[in-house]
């Protein structure tokens, strides 16, 4: 069994990937038109659970456009976020490292540094125009971590993740300058509006559509980092309902608690924005030249009045945000490239946020940074099933710091969890027990010890994140 981070993939994937990309990118001999590398759009939801959308089993909340992405693309059933909370998950997405090696391993104000290489920087080298719209959380003002110093040509949105709680902010950042939002006035309670005129999610959607229009004739990368359906925690603390949305339609007449009506309305509003993007790509006739990745930064939250049990937001999974059980880290993970990737496919191959950078680098025809944790799953998009074993035989690792040091690792069908340093290890077979109901550590002590030793190898000490292991 190979447990290294990249060694096993360098040989077997290179030929199969090339064979599929030659045809997938339009270079087969029987094709008259070369397509080239795709435009790339990442649509990232905030605290959207595995079970919050229809294609993953949701039956109450309407998500027809996200479901359409799954119908026309590849739906990964074992897709993982980088962390059970925001900032480290987004760091894993941007840099290709898991939280055992990433610079940012917990929610904090520690920024990315100049030596950190992001997806945006990689794609710029391949000639992409790069834009970030929405929530960043990886660098405060006047630090090296701001988006314009991390590979993004354009930025509009929130730098600070707490600022992003407020859906009616009085300003958003445009590149390195604050831009006033007319009609929004903050009350005496920070993060809560006294005058609530312009809803930030709608502004972000509008900005995304304008970015796509401006760059329709260019090769572009858009990281559309929405804040829905995250709670406004400050509003929730003040009024008990932090699910801040202009209207609870189309759920106004449902016999649900008001926070749940609002929560559902936020998700459907997110879905509507996805639909607007799909419609624009068709209008501009670039839908077949554009790859879309839809996902969420972690599992569903229990904040601002939201109740993840009400809509079964984790689906069949155990846990939610801030948990290393599957419900905290397994998320919707859909990739659609119309006309290039066969639609309607469902994959049970485990993939993760740190795999996204090398995957997009492969599709863009450029080399990804060396010695990152991620590996390209581009061959899977084109039906290359004989490389699945390589993905099953590499460890996926997470560590978390709230409430004591926690670790988890998946290797194939097995998942090992340390819920708190000093507590007994837990072992689960995810193929037989997706809900992590049956702890097998006592039944399989040798397997538990084996995985524990492998898990110890998955991290390096960090000056920012001290643990009992350091």
pLDDT at residue 15 is higher than 80: no
All residues at 6 or more sequence positions from 382 whose CB lies less than 8 Å from its CB, including other chains:
20, 21, 23, 24, 341
pLDDT at residue 34 is higher than 90: no
Q: How many helices (H) and strands (E) does the chain have?
A: 12, 18
* Banded pLDDT at 470 (limits 50, 70, 90): confident
Predicted pLDDT at 2: 31
Strand-pair category, 171-174 with 177-180: antiparallel
* Banded pLDDT at 204 (limits 50, 70, 90): very high
- Is residue 93 within 8 A of residue 351, CB to CB? The reply is no
pLDDT at residue 33 is higher than 70: no
Question: In which residue are the tokens 């949305």 written?
Answer: 245
Give alpha helix (H) positions in 33-167: 64-72, 86-95, 119-125
Predicted pLDDT at 4: 38
At 416-454, the pLDDT tens digits run: 999 989 899 999 999 999 999 999 999 999 999 999 999
Task: Of 32-41, 233-242, 342-351, give the lowest mean pLDDT range.
Answer: 32-41
pLDDT at residue 31 is higher than 80: no
- Is residue 301 within 8 A of residue 283, CB to CB? The reply is no
Helix (H, G, I), strand (E, B) or coil at 119: helix
Helix (H, G, I), strand (E, B) or coil at 54: helix
Predicted pLDDT at 346: 96
Residue whose C-alpha is closest to residue 231's, from 181, 279, 185, 267: 267
Provide the token pair at 156. Answer: 């509009």
Predicted pLDDT at 389: 86
Specify the fold of 9-392.
Answer: Alkaline Phosphatase, subunit A (3.40.720)
Q: What is the mean pLDDT of residues 46-67?
A: 98
- Residue boundaries of the structural domains of the chain: 9-392, 396-456
Distance (Å, whole) CA 2 – CA 21: 26
Task: Of 6-10, 148-152, 199-203, 349-353, give the lowest mean pLDDT range.
Answer: 6-10
Give the bridge partners for 454, in sequence order. Answer: none
pTM > 0.75: yes
All residues at 6 or more sequence positions from 246 whose CB lies less than 8 Å from its CB, including other chains:
199
Distance (Å, whole) CA 452 – CA 177: 47
What percent of the chain has a predicted confidence (pLDDT) above 70?
Answer: 93
Residue whose C-alpha is closest to residue 230's, from 258, 254, 266, 273: 266
Task: Of 7-16, 193-202, 263-272, give the lowest mean pLDDT range.
Answer: 7-16
pLDDT at residue 9 is higher than 70: no
Distance from the Cα of residue 244 to its chain's centroid:
22
* Banded pLDDT at 305 (limits 50, 70, 90): very high
> Counting every residue, how long is the chain?
470
State how far the alpha carbon of 122 is from the alpha carbons of 129, 243, 369, 457, in Å: 11, 36, 8, 28
Residue 113: CA count within 13 A, CB half-sphere: 5
Predicted pLDDT at 35: 56
H, E, C per residue of 322-365: CCCCHHHHECCEEEEECCCCCCCEEECCCEEHHHHHHHHHHHHC
From the candidate CATH numbers 3.20.10.10, 3.40.50.11810, 2.40.30.170, 3.30.1120.10, the one assigned to the domain spanning 396-456: 3.30.1120.10
For the chain, the average pLDDT equals: 92
H, E, C per residue of 420-435: CCCCCCEEEECCCCCC
Predicted pLDDT at 469: 85
* Banded pLDDT at 36 (limits 50, 70, 90): confident
At 383-417, the pLDDT tens digits run: 887 788 889 999 999 999 998 999 999 999 999 99
Predicted pLDDT at 38: 98
pLDDT at residue 89 is higher than 70: yes
């Amino acid at each position: 069994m190979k447990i290294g981070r990249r060694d096993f993939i360098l040989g077997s994937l290179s030929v199969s990937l090339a064979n599929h990309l030659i045809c997938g990118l339009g270079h087969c001999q029987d094709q008259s038109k070369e397509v080239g590398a795709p435009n790339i759009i990442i649509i990232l939801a905030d605290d959207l659970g595995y079970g919050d959308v229809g294609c993953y089993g949701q039956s109450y909340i309407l998500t027809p456009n996200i479901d359409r992405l799954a119908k026309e693309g590849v739906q990964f059933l074992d897709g993982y976020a980088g962390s059970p909370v925001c900032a480290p998950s987004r760091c894993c997405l941007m840099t290709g490292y898991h939280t055992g090696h990433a610079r940012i391993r917990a929610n904090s104000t520690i920024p990315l540094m100049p030596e950190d290489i992001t997806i945006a920087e990689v794609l710029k080298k391949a000639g992409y125009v790069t834009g970030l719209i929405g929530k960043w959380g990886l660098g405060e003002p006047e630090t090296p971590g701001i988006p314009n110093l991390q590979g993004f040509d354009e930025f509009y949105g929130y730098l600070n993740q707490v600022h992003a709680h407020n859906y009616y902010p009085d300003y958003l950042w445009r590149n390195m300058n604050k831009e006033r939002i007319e009609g929004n006035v903050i009350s005496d309670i920070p993060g809560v509006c006294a005058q609530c005129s312009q809803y930030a999610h709608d502004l972000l959607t509008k900005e995304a559509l304008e970015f796509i229009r401006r760059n329709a004739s260019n090769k572009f990368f858009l990281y559309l980092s929405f804040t829905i359906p995250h709670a406004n925690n400050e509003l929730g603390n003040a009024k008990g309902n932090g699910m801040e949305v202009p209207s609870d339609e189309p759920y106004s007449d449902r016999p649900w608690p008001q926070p749940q009506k609002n929560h559902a309305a936020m998700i459907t509003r997110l879905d509507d924005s996805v639909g607007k993007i799909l419609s624009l790509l068709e209008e501009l006739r670039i839908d077949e030249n554009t790859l879309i990745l839809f996902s969420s930064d972690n599992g569903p939250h229990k904040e601002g009045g939201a109740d993840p049990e009400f809509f079964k937001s984790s689906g069949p999974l155990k846990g939610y945000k801030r948990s290393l059980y599957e419900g905290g880290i397994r998320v919707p993970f859909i990739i659609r490239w119309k006309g290039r990737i066969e639609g309607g496919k469902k994959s049970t191959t485990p993939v993760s946020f740190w795999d996204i950078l090398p995957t997009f680098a492969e599709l863009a025809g450029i080399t990804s940074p060396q010695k990152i944790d991620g590996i390209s799953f581009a061959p899977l998009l084109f039906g290359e099933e004989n490389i699945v074993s390589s993905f099953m035989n590499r460890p996926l690792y997470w560590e978390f710091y709230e409430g004591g040091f926690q670790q988890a690792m998946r290797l194939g069908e097995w998942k090992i969890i340390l819920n708190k340093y000093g507590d007994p290890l837990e072992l689960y077979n995810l193929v037989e027990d997706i809900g992590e109901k049956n702890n097998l550590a006592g039944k399989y002590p040798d397997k538990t010890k084996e995985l524990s030793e492998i898990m110890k190898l998955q991290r390096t000490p960090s000056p920012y994140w001290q643990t009992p292991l350091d």
